[in-house]
Amino acid sequence: MSLKFHNSYTRKKEVFEPLTAGHVGMYVCGPTVSGESHLGHARPYITFDVVYRYLMYLGYKVRYVRNITDAGHFEEEGREAEDKIAKKSVIEKLEPMELVQKYTNLYHWAMLQLNNLEPSIEPTATGHIIEQIEMIKQIIAEGYAYEVNGSVYFDVKKYADEYPYGKLSGRVMEDLLENTRELEGQEEKRLSADFALWKAAPPEHIQRWASPWGDGFPGWHIECSAMATKYLGKQFDIHGGGMDLLFPHHESEIAQSTICNKHVPAKYWLHNNMITINGRKMGKSYNNQIRLTEMFSGGHPMLEKGYHPMTIRFFILQTHYRSTLDFSNEALQAAEKGLKRLWEAYEVLKKMPVHDAESAGDPELDKKVETLLGEFDEFMNDDLSTAKVLANMFELVPVINSIKDGHIQAKAMSKKTLELFKSKMSVYLEEVLGLKNEMQQDDGKLNGVLELLAEIRKEVKSKKDYATSDKIRNQLHRMGIIMKDEKDGNISISFE
C-alpha cells in the first residue's frame, strides 16, 4: 500500500516516490496580497495543508514552501470606483507595501483560523527581485528571451520547438498561435503567446526596481520559478495550486525553469478544483466572491449566517480535492451539523476508559471497527480521499454512541482495537485532517458555575421540581449553553 497522487503533468495516478528518500520538497502557489482572501482561496491552502500533514504523518521530513505575491501590477480591491473620483490623490497616497502588509496580515489571520500549519518557508516576491533578475538574465543568455523597450519576454515559439510546451495544460502550440486576442501591451511581443519576464514600469507605476533593462517589475510567473529553485532546488517533488493556475502560470513556470535548470521543476503536479457558487467559479472575474472574514461573520447578502472556520475546513474535506465544490447555505449547514455530531462522538471516545479484555466480546464488531480504521490510510494513499475517511468516521460514530448509551458493551471490542480506535481517530481528526474543537475553551470560573447549575438541576429534578429544572435548562439554552441529560444520569454541557 503506497501513496498515490494524481499527477496533472502525466494525467495519471502515480505512486509517490520522493527524489530523496525520506524527504519531500513541496511548493504551493500562495496568494497575491492585493485583496482579501475569499472562500475559494481557502481550498488550496486547506488541501495542501492536509498533504503536508499527511506526508509528515507518513514520516517524511517535508519542506513546504508557499509564497506571497506582493510584487507586480496590482491595485487594491475596490479602489477602482474611488480612483475615478480622486484618482490622482489616491495614487499619490497609496503606498504599495502598506497595502501588501494589510492583506498579508489578514491572510495569515485567516490561515490561522482555518488551522492551517505555517509553511516551512514563506518567501515574498519583493524579497527575491535579485534572484528573479538573475534568472531572467540566464534565460536571455540561453537565447530564450528578448528585450523590447525595457521589457523582457519569453520566446515561447523557440522553446516550443525543442520542449513540450503545453504538456501540463493540454495546450497545442498551433491553437495558441491562432488565438490572437487583442490585449493591451501585446504589440511588443513577437508572438501573442509570449509572456513577460520583466515589465518596464511606466513613470506613474509605484512599485519599481532597477534592472539591467531599466526600472521595472518582475513578470507574473518568474517569482515562483526563482523562489522554488532557491529553496527547493532545480528539481523538487510536489508543486501544488489551483487548477486555474495550470495555464498560463504553471506552464510558464515549467518553461522558465526548464531553460535555467534543465529540468521540469516538479515531479508531481497537484491541482485542486474550484469552489463554485450557483455553479459558477468563485473568482475575481465573476465578482461573486465571499471573503473569508464574511464567511466567518455572516456579513454577506448570500449568507444566512456565519460559519465557523472548522465548518469550512470540514466542508472542503468532505469533497475530493479534484472535484468542484458548490457553495450553498444548505451544504454549509449540513456540514456544520455533521461535524458537530462527529466531534461530540470523538469527545466521548477520548474519555472512554480502556478495559483490559484481550479478546473481543463481539468479534464481528471488533473486525468492523478495525477494518474501518485501517481504511483511513488506504483512502488517504489513494490520492487523498479525505471524503472517504470522513465517511468511515461517520460509520464509527454509532459505535461510540452505542457504547456510551449502553447498547454495546465497551468490551465488545478488544483492548487492542479500542486503543487503536482512540489513537487513530485522534491522529486523523486532529493531526492529519487538522480539525479542532469548535467551541472556545471557557475559563474555570464559568465552568464552575455551570457545574453548580447542573448539580442544582439534578437535585430539583430528583424532587420532581420540573419547573425549576426546566428553567435552568431553558434559560441557559437562550444563552447558547446546552444542557443534556445523559443516560447515566449525568448532565453534559456544551456550547452552541
Binding to RNA (CB under 7 A) within 449-478 occurs at 461, 466, 469-470, 473
Query: What would the x/- binding string for RNA be over residues 20 to 49, using CB under 7 A?
Result: ---------x-xx-------xx-xx-----
Does the protein bind RNA through residue 445 (CB under 7 A)? no
| Parallel/antiparallel/unpaired status of strands 61-66 and 236-242 | unpaired
| Helix, strand, or coil (residue 178) | helix
Of the residues 6, 128, 281, 308, which one makes contact with RNA according to CB under 7 A = 281
Q: Residue 28 CB, nearest distance to RNA (Å)? A: 9
Range 446-455 contact pairs with CB under 8 angstroms and sequence separation of 24 or more: 450/476, 450/481, 450/493, 451/493, 453/483, 454/483, 454/491, 454/493
Of the residues 377, 404, 413, 435, which one makes contact with RNA according to CB under 7 A = 404
Which residue number, 118 or 459, has a Cβ lying nearer to RNA? 459
Q: What is the dihedral of CA 17, 18, 19, 21, to 10 degrees?
A: -100
In contact, 352 and 405? CB cutoff 8 Å = no
Helix (H) or strand (E) holding 294: helix 292-297
Extract the C-alpha cell encoding 113. Answer: 483560523
Q: Residue 371 CB, nearest distance to RNA (Å)? A: 11
Query: What would the x/- binding string for RNA be over residues 229 to 268, using CB under 7 A?
Result: ------------xxxxxxxxx-------------------
The residues in 67-96 that bind RNA, with binding defined as CB under 7 A, are 69, 74
Q: Of 106-114, 128-136, 304-312, 318-326, which segment contacts RNA by CB under 7 A?
A: 318-326
Which residue number, 426 or 462, has a Cβ lying nearer to RNA? 462
Of the residues 105, 324, 423, 475, which one makes contact with RNA according to CB under 7 A = 324
Rounded distance between C-alpha atoms, residue 480 and residue 136, angstroms: 59
From the number of C-beta atoms within 10 Å of its C-beta (0-12, 13-18, 19+), residue 12 rates as: exposed
The residues in 339-398 that bind RNA, with binding defined as CB under 7 A, are 341, 344-345, 385, 387-388, 390-391, 394-395, 397-398
The residues in 103-122 that bind RNA, with binding defined as CB under 7 A, are none
Query: What would the x/- binding string for RNA be over residues 179 to 218, using CB under 7 A?
Result: x-x-x--------x--x-----------------------
Other beta carbons less than 10 A from residue 73's beta carbon: 14
In contact, 24 and 267? CB cutoff 8 Å = no
Q: Distance between terminal CA atoms of the chain?
A: 41
Strand partners, 326: 276
Which residue number, 61 or 280, has a Cβ lying nearer to RNA? 280
Q: Of 89-97, 132-140, 270-278, 444-452, which segment contacts RNA by CB under 7 A?
A: 270-278
